[in-house]
Amino acid sequence: GENVEQHPSTLSVQEGDSAVIKCTYSDSASNYFPWYKQELGKRPQLIIDIRSNVGEKKDQRIAVTLNKTAKHFSLHITETQPEDSAVYFCAACLYTGTASKLTFGTGTRLQVTL
């Protein structure tokens, strides 16, 4: 089955700096890669996603890149703010023909300090 590795597990940056989180996946059939932000005790919230026919996608301060050949994808947050502090999960989605199954990475705890 699919396996998703995520690094780093914790990341501390100063406000205004950039943050980069990296993920790799194992199943080349995975075709959709969402990123979720989870605040303490809350639900995972989708922040950005990318499909396998696209190499890069940007939404204001957040961007995601995908390298299908190397099977890795990354989240980039620029001009970080304290409210960006949360746990970020990458996921790879495998469509089996009847269902989409998300396999999550182990999460990155991002701390943005003043």
What the block records as the tokens of 85 is 């502090």
What CA–CA distance (Å, rounded) separates 89 from 38?
Answer: 8
Q: Which region among 12-20, 60-68, 70-78, 104-112 touches other proteins (by CB under 8 A)?
A: 104-112
| Of residues 68-97, those binding other proteins (CB under 8 A) | 89, 91, 93, 95-96
* 3-class SS letters over 82-114: HHHCEEEEEEEEEECCCCEEEEECCCEEEEEEC
Q: Binders of other proteins among 30-59, rule CB under 8 A?
A: 31-32, 34, 36, 42-46, 49, 51
Stretch of 11-19, 55-63, 68-76, 103-111 lying at the interface with other proteins (CB under 8 A)? 103-111
CB of 29 to other proteins, least distance (A): 11
Beta-strand pair 10-14/108-113: parallel
The residues binding other proteins (CB under 8 A) are: 31-32, 34, 36, 42-46, 49, 51, 89, 91, 93, 95-96, 98-107
